[in-house]
Amino acid sequence: MNGFFTDKRVLIIGGTGTIGKSLLTTILQDSPKVVRIFSRDEYKQFEMQQSFRGYNNIRYLIGDVRDFERVKRAMQDIDYVFHCAAMKHVPSCEYNPFEAVQTNILGTQNVIQASIDCGVEKTVFTSTDKAIAPTNTYGASKLMAERLISAAQYYGSAGKTVFSSVRFGNVMGSRGSVIPLFQQQIAERSSITVTCKDMSRFMMTKKEATELTIKAMMLSQGGEVFVLKMPIIRLQDLAECVIEETAKRLCIHPTSVKIEEIGLRPGEKMYEELMTEEEAVHAIELQEMFVISNQFVDKPSYPGGKPANMQSYSSHSETCMPKEFVRRMLLENDLLDSYNNTNYNNKKSFSV
């Protein structure tokens, strides 16, 4: 970070989530003046306070991104904003679509307006691959939020705020992710459920997601979308690796665990896309990522950047990682420890 956050004031909206907490851990290494954690989850804030007891430059603010006045008060005198708050589980958004609209779309507009009003230097919004050609409420709401962020750069040009977005794949080990669910199912009933074994997904670790978000904050010049180049994993390979490694811990044979296909959920895709062919026309390729520039502002330049190939970046058209790469990714990032040994011991009798 080279002192980017040193003596700066940072606000993390949705700061008690997986990415928010990882951002906090990383930014604290750069000695910021203050980091404000903004979320509506009182208990998660309490847990975070216990984890970061040794720091006197963290402030904890209870509030909802839907409440503009509260967001604006939280943003007073802030230099940098990370907007990570969202409704993000596909079935929840499908069943409660207007709730997703209020949080993901109207909440993002509140962040934009508060950023402009408070003279924030830079604001980064965390988006998703599901925003590309969306087939569900979650993706559609995130696409609309992306468009609001990009539009803010030119309609808010009278202010000084630089807006940008980062587009994630699935963050392995995040809250509500499939890995601890698989482990729980193995321990409780010796079987796991998958929607479709041939489904493929872009996968990234929490560390990669955090680094991308911070890099986007540092590089952003106005209205861009940053897309990390990330591995693609087939769901069957992930499921088999989790079964094999969890079975070792439970002292059971992997063949005793069945994989049940239950079909796609409402709004769910077989494959995901991180960048469309149309977006690639306006994209710059860097070593670790693509930068999709805003068509309504001057096209920025980046050191080492070159025009991207005019093709979509899809989990269907790219090669999936070998199964052993998936296993190594799980083990090296301690992603199988989220369902801890206590849970294993408690559930073991159900698994034999």
Output the pLDDT for position 176. Answer: 67
Q: Evaluate if residue 349 carries a pLDDT over 80.
A: no
Helices 341-351 and 178-189, axial angle in degrees (round to 10): 40
Please give the average per-residue pLDDT across 283-300, as a whole number.
Answer: 87
Q: Catalytic annotation on 130?
A: yes
pLDDT at position 45, please? 97
Read off the pLDDT band of 340 (50, 70, 90).
low
Mean pLDDT of 216-240: 93
pLDDT at 333: 86
Average pLDDT over residues 154-173: 82
Task: Let me know: does 201 contact 232? Beta carbons within 8 Å.
Answer: yes
Q: Comparing 125-134, 267-276, 292-301, which segment has the lowest mean pLDDT?
A: 292-301
DSSP state letters, 202-221? EEE-HHHHHHHHHHHHHH--
- CA gap 106, 339 in Å, rounded: 35
The pLDDT > 70 percentage for the chain reads 94
DSSP secondary structure code for residue 320 in this structure: P
Check residue 336 and give its pLDDT.
86
The one catalytic residue among 88, 130, 206, 269: 130
For residue 345, pLDDT over 80 is answered with: no
Residue 272: pLDDT above 60? yes
Q: How far from 339 is each of 69, 192, 237, CA to CA, in Å?
A: 39, 15, 19
Q: Mean pLDDT of all residues in the chain?
A: 90
pTM given for the model: 0.89
What pLDDT is stored for residue 2 in this prediction? 85
34-38 mean pLDDT? 98
Q: What is the pLDDT of residues 69-121, one digit of tens each?
A: 999 999 999 999 999 999 988 889 999 999 999 999 999 999 999 999 999 99
Residue 156 has pLDDT above 70, yes or no: no
Q: Is the pLDDT of residue 240 over 50?
A: yes
Residue 234 bridge partners (DSSP): 200
| CATH of span 9-171+203-231+273-314 | 3.40.50.720
pLDDT of 158 reads 53
